Chain A
Amino acid sequence: MELFDNHKKLFGTAALFFVGLTVLVAVMPAIRNQNMNQPLPGAEPLSPDAIKGKALFVANGCVACHTQQVRNIDMDKTWGSRPSLAADYADIHRTDLWRNTATLMGTERTGPDLTDIGNRQPSKDWNLVHLYNPRIVVKESIMPAYPWLFAVKKEPSKSDVVVNVPSEYLDGQEGKVVATRDAMYLIAYLQSLKQTKLPDGTAAPAFLYKKEEKKTAGAAAGAEPDGQAIFTANCQSCHQANGEGLPGAFPPLKGSSVVLGDNLEMYVDIIMNGYDAKAEFGVMPPVGTNMQFTEHEVAALINYERTSWGNNGKKVTPEEVKKIVDFVKLKAAE
């Protein structure tokens, strides 16, 4: 065949075929998505600090393990309140002359997704300790430690941000661990990662592949959610698996007056809306609100905390909790 024996025609045809398909499935959709999508009205641009933090995030290859996309499937609900939209990425442009756009969607989830990490884990103290060495707060973590973002000072000045690192993680160094500016930039970036609220009246796309039978059947049969699993997923990284917290950073729940006391309203309020009353401990984020806990989940969590680590508190029912949950929601809204 002439086509097959003439190198110009053969390779010309193959190249045209490939380029044509490339334009159809890559270039044109890319241009279309770039031009068509606009950032959400409520989207906040990154602060100057957060921009520097993002550069560090990119430089250290964090995207190798952390995705930034909530897929529209039920299992991704953990990572955000709605599936990510094209609009969420629309405001991301080329970084600079040397570097391409960094949407940082990622393809591996060796570590947790970070789309909404600013809401899920807003505590600066926790993030700094975790960055210095993740295994201080999460024993099983395999995330790299980033001690080069910190300095060890004998006598930190007043403006220094001191990080409470247990001595066994200091590798024999003497002094206090102080966050460098880079560490603060990175934290600023992480804290800025929050899902933007959709404009009022806009329905978020649905999460697909729901495991509906299980949930409804469970509720109908009176089977309560697993309090321990809720604790592990949402509380353990600060309060620790043994309930003892981390001295100087996160308070213990073992023997805690809040957990075992009679003030159920305060307890539920802290779970739903967070807490910042004690100077020696970090700020607790509104975990329950962020994760949209139901009264069943709150009750299961309370019952788990009240009966673990030697705690021996009174159990609560979802009905009791429901009233308080509704009440504290109203209070938070005020």
Chain B
Amino acid sequence: MKSNKSLKLLPLFLTGMLMNAFPTLAQDDAPSHFSFSYAGALTWVLFSILFVVFLAALVLKQKVKNIRNSRKRKTEEEQQRQLQQHLRNLNSKQIGEIINYKKRRSSNVLLPLLLIAVSSLVPVGKLLAQETGKPAGSLLGETGILITIVLLLIPILFAIIFLITKVVHALDQTKKRHKLEEAEKLAAYLRSLPEEEIDTQLKKRKAALDYSLTNRELSGNQAPEDEKGLLQINDQAGLPIVALKKKALPRPNVDPALSRLILWYLGCATFWLLFGTTIGEYVGIKFVAPDADHVSWLSFGRLRPVHTNAVFWGWASLGMLGLGYYVVPRVSNTKLANIKYGWYALWLINAAVILGSICLMAGINNGGGEYREYIWPVMLLFAAGIVMTLVIFLQTIARRTTKEIYISNWYIVAAIIFAIVITLVAYIPYWQNGLGETIVQGYYMHQGVGMWFMLFTLGIVYYFLPQQLNKPIYSYSLGILAFWTQILFYTLIGTHHFVFSSIPWWLQTVAIVGSAGMAIPVIAGTTNFIMTFKGAWYKIKDSYTLPFFLVGVIFYFTGSMQGTAEAFRSTNLIWHFTDFTVAHSHLTMYGIICFFLWAGIYAVIPRLTGKEAPQITIGAHFWLALVGLMFYTVPLMYGSTLKGLLWMEGKPFIDGVIKMAPYWLWRAIGGSLMWLSHLFFAYNMYKMMVAKPVVDVRETAIQKLNGPTASTHSIV
């Protein structure tokens, strides 16, 4: 009763708190160009944390009260009544055992009591109490920073919820112990019952309870038979080291020629991932050890674009295309139109990355625009590759046997068309003198990321996520909304990389507005994926692909929204030109694109080859990549915020370099973990593609029976 009352008071209390919070904050805030509502947003952040902690406290209080109530000393009479009640509610089996016991007159029935470490509850409570402490300052008044804080707080809130469940669990254990104590009392009481009472009361009751139908009224007396093969009994199940996940289902009807093409795409992609991130790792180490080598071909300025371009055009592009070659014909329900062009495209793109990397290391580059470092003859090879892919994909879609064009193909084909447009705009020289080059650069590098990688990858997710969850995508309409709004807003945002530069002010503003508009496609997409997961969350623990999807979805939201936060003028002041951008691009290109690609690759290859990678190495890949990414990005973001503030205070430039040193070290450590995870990934690729499977005794025996002429069951 009491608790109900306090629950009713809760809303009143909360509104009171809010009413208090707003005016005080508004007054405390120093007069600045930031409007009042930003300070209000801070209140909301603090408020939501307080709210969660408060709710947690309420729940815990209720639990503790329950336990205290049950612990209260009861009067003799009450106890007696309770015991009588237990006696009345005994079931037949229990009565039978009591009678047996009474007969044997033995006294060894009680269960041993469980011990619970109640003391462990105390530190948990303390931890919870600490969550409310938050630093405050004028920086917190800025939208971008607020958004970042909120994004960071989301996992913390989840951690609080997790803690609460743990505490509740511990409390339940305590409750269980009290029940056990009560059971002991009941046992003692039963022991003391006189014989005649058992005969008269309990035996009669037992007879009544024991009455039942025979259960054979409607069936015969023969043994059951599994005519439909529904039962499968594995008598050799051992204890697994890692949790057992579901096996991928083989798809025997994939065209072996297509299958070979896809495997080659993904294999080459893996090579470029290893190559590109080895370079990246080395470049990251150079921040800590600038004198690691003195070779011109390996100097920082030359290797940095080798890293970015190899992972962009080599790894991510080939990986996406490989998965695209699987998805496009499949959702069109037809065969790929022209497999030969697919091979040409593969060779062209590989040639572009090989030549491009050599050129860059030799000091031949296009003039310094990010991701536009390959000179045009090299990029022409890449462009030819994707033009060929576009031709086949369009032909395949034209031949589709479904009426509609599945949303995956919208994203994939649009991504290729846009990539071609972007490359043309970036490399045609007629609008590239003076500031024209800078405007095009801003456009190009961001469209490359958002229209080529993001759009294509979303297409892949729209196919593989529902497939892996074995349920349809939540909303087709949200996918369509995200598609058109992504084109509308993303196209505008390029020049937000040159805020405060001499690019026209209005163009910068358009880019910032576009960045804010990106919230629409991102939220639509995230909602769509999360709602597809809904009702099937339990599948994550049975699958080794779904965790990759989940991480991808989380970073799709946080990484993309962080991009919006960074675009504002106020946040540009602090973060522009610092390593924050580097952290952001890794959160997105790695957290979103790479994780989605891995998810797709682990989903598709076993279907093509019938072979799977060991789950333990897939797990190692997943965790090293995720933990590594966190070690990489969080220190960089923190350090560069400090550095940006130093710059704003007008401190000497070298102070910022000194300040960043420990964070660069952390970045190198995180980068090493990520790199290590790629070694596991490469090993997994080997196991899925090349490694000979263990001999299946039954399968081989049957083949032997059928003789050498019989075809093998191999899929490839």
Q: Is B524 an interface residue (CB 8 A)?
A: no
B435: A residues at CB distance < 8 A: 30, 33-34, 37, 86, 89-90, 103
- Judge whether B451 is part of the interface by a CB distance below 8 angstroms: yes
User: Is A100 within 8 A of B488, CB to CB?
Assistant: no
Evaluate whether A26 and B651 lie within 8 angstroms (CB atoms) in the complex, with A11-B413, A144-B286 already known: no
Scoring B residues 418 to 429 as 1 if CB is less than 8 Å from chain A, else 0, what string do you get?
100110010101
Among A5, A73, A101, A107: residue with most chain B CB under 10 A: A101
CB distance from B511 to the nearest CB of A (A): 8
Asked if B433 and A4 sit within 8 Å, CB to CB, the answer is: no
B432 at the interface (CB under 8 A from A): yes
Q: A102 and B368 in contact (CB under 8 A), knowing A17-B487, A25-B492, A64-B300? A: yes
Residues of chain A within 8 A (CB-CB) of B397 are 7
Q: Is the interface of B mostly helix, strand, loop or mixed?
A: helix
Binds B, one of A134-142, A251-259, A262-270, A273-281: A134-142
A78 to B305, CA, bound (A): 28
Closest chain B CB from A40 CB (angstroms): 12
Contact present for B296 and A7 (CB under 8 Å): no
Interface stretch of the complex, out of A91-99, A191-199, A300-308, A320-328: A91-99
Q: A33-B504, A144-B300 are in contact. Are A10 and B405 (CB under 8 A)?
A: yes
A248: B residues at CB distance < 8 A: none
What is the CA–CA distance of A33 and B299 in the complex, to the nearest angstrom? 35
Q: Determine which of A18, A75, A107 lies in contact with B497 in the assembled complex, contact meaning CB atoms within 8 Å.
A: A107
Among candidates A5, A88, A103, A110, residue contacting B437 with C-beta atoms closer than 8 Å: A103
- Cβ B439 vs Cβ A29 within 8 A: yes
In angstroms, Cα B439 to Cα A34, docked, is 10
- Which residues 30-54 in A have Cβ within 8 Å of B in the complex? 30-31, 33-34, 37
Rounded to whole angstroms, the CA-CA distance of A98 and B365 in the bound complex is 9
Which stretch in A55-63, A121-129, A151-159, A309-317 binds the other chain? A55-63
Complex contact B414–A25 (CB within 8 A): no
A94 to B652, CA, bound (A): 35
Residue of A nearest to B409 (CB): A7
Contacts of B439 in A (CB 8 A): 26, 29-30, 33
Residues of chain A contacted by B484 (CB below 8 angstroms): 17
CB contact between A135 and one of B290, B365, B418, B491 (< 8 Å): that residue: B290
Collect the chain A residues with CB atoms within 8 Å of residue B422's CB. Answer: 22
**Number of chain A interface residues as a range:** 35 or more
> Which residues on A sit within 8 Å (CB–CB) of B148?
none
B507 at the interface (CB under 8 A from A): yes
Please name all residues of chain A whose beta carbon is closer than 8 Å to the beta carbon of B299 when the two chains form the complex: 60-61, 144, 146
Nearest chain B CB to A231 CB, angstrom units: 9
Q: Mark B118-137, 1 if CB is under 8 A from A, else 0.
A: 00000000000000000000
A78 touches B653 (CB 8 A): yes
A233 at the interface (CB under 8 A from B): yes
Question: CB distance B367 to A29 under 8 Å?
Answer: no
On whether A7 and B405 interact (CB within 8 A), knowing A21-B487, A64-B301, A100-B372, the answer reads: yes
**C-alpha spacing A236/B483, complex, angstroms:** 54
**Is A145's beta carbon under 8 Å from chain B?**
yes
Residues of B contacting A103 in the complex (Cβ-Cβ under 8 angstroms): 434-435, 437-438
Partner of B376, one of A98, A106, A233: A98
**Which of B55-63, B230-238, B654-662 is found at the contact surface with chain A?**
B654-662
12 A-B residue pairs with CB within 8 Å: A22-B443, A22-B447, A25-B495, A25-B511, A26-B444, A29-B504, A33-B435, A33-B504, A98-B366, A107-B370, A145-B291, A233-B653
Which 3 residue pairs are nearest across A and B when measured between Cβ atoms? A61-B301, A59-B363, A109-B577
Assuming A107-B577, A112-B653, what are 13 further A-B pairs, CB within 8 angstroms?
A: A14-B487, A25-B443, A25-B511, A30-B439, A34-B434, A60-B299, A60-B363, A61-B360, A61-B368, A101-B433, A108-B582, A142-B287, A232-B652
